[in-house]
Amino acid sequence: MTDTFLEDLYREMYQKIYAFARVRLRDEQLAQEVTQDVFVLAQEKLDEVRHSPNPQGWLIRTAGYAVQHAQRDRQYIEQRTVPLEETRLSAPPPEAEDDELKQRMSPEEWLLLRAVYCDGYSIKEAAQLCGLSFEACRKRLLRCKQRLRRELSMEQKGGKQHVGSNQP
């Protein structure tokens, strides 16, 4: 015999919990996540819910706590993030590009660096642009930046040799 207690409670309360969360959060996707979290918790604490004098009230109270938690998380993220517009570097006009810097890398590397750091592409978007997987793109960016740092630090120390090139 299967226990349908939680299924029946889910059918009865899902729309009410979702509507409650949506009104409080003003975000449909987040409200769906909160509603799902409430029922996952109910599954984990099934004995507590089953023996509650008011299982529906238990779900509503739990939804209230979940909404508060989601609001705190959202506020935390908003306070600690910088809008994307403020993090993008403005791209220099093509005639102002550093030809010496451009010569230090392959055209593919230049395209990748410029896409991410000048044009504001995400790594995922740059990967699609260059026909790479996300991980391959991320690793190429990392290696390219490391190589440029080494070259530039050698240059500052007086050594003009390009790392990775055949020039003396």
What pLDDT score was predicted for residue 114? 81
Q: What is the pLDDT of residues 83-95, one digit of tens each?
A: 554 444 444 444 4
* Coil vs helix vs strand at 77: helix
Mean pLDDT of 141-164: 73
Distance (Å, rounded) from C-alpha 5 to C-alpha 45?
13
Residue 112 in this model has a pLDDT that exceeds 90: no
Distance (Å, rounded) from C-alpha 120 to C-alpha 133?
18
Residues of the chain with pLDDT > 90, as a percent, come to 40
Mean pLDDT of 102-120: 80
Sign of CA dihedral 97, 101, 103, 105: negative
Distance (Å, rounded) from C-alpha 129 to C-alpha 111?
9
Q: What is the pLDDT of residues 20-72, one digit of tens each?
A: 999 999 999 999 999 999 999 999 999 999 999 999 999 999 999 999 999 99
Q: What is the pLDDT of residues 124-140, one digit of tens each?
A: 888 888 888 888 888 88
Are 95 and 84 in contact by the 8 Å Cβ rule? The answer is no
Tell me how far the alpha carbon of residue 50 is from its chain's centroid: 37
* Coil vs helix vs strand at 9: helix
| Nearest Cα to Cα of residue 42 among 84, 83, 85, 5 | 5
Residue 18 in this model has a pLDDT that exceeds 60: yes
Provide the CATH number for the domain formed by 5-80 in this structure. 1.10.1740
Boundaries of every domain in the chain: 5-80, 87-156
Architecture in CATH for domain 87-156: Orthogonal Bundle (1.10)
DSSP 14-77: HHHHHHHHHHHH--HHHHHHHHHHHHHHHHHTHHHHHTSS-HHHHHHHHHHHHHHHHHHHHHHH
> What's the pLDDT band for 165 if we cut at 50, 70, 90?
very low
Distance (Å, rounded) from C-alpha 127 to C-alpha 133?
6
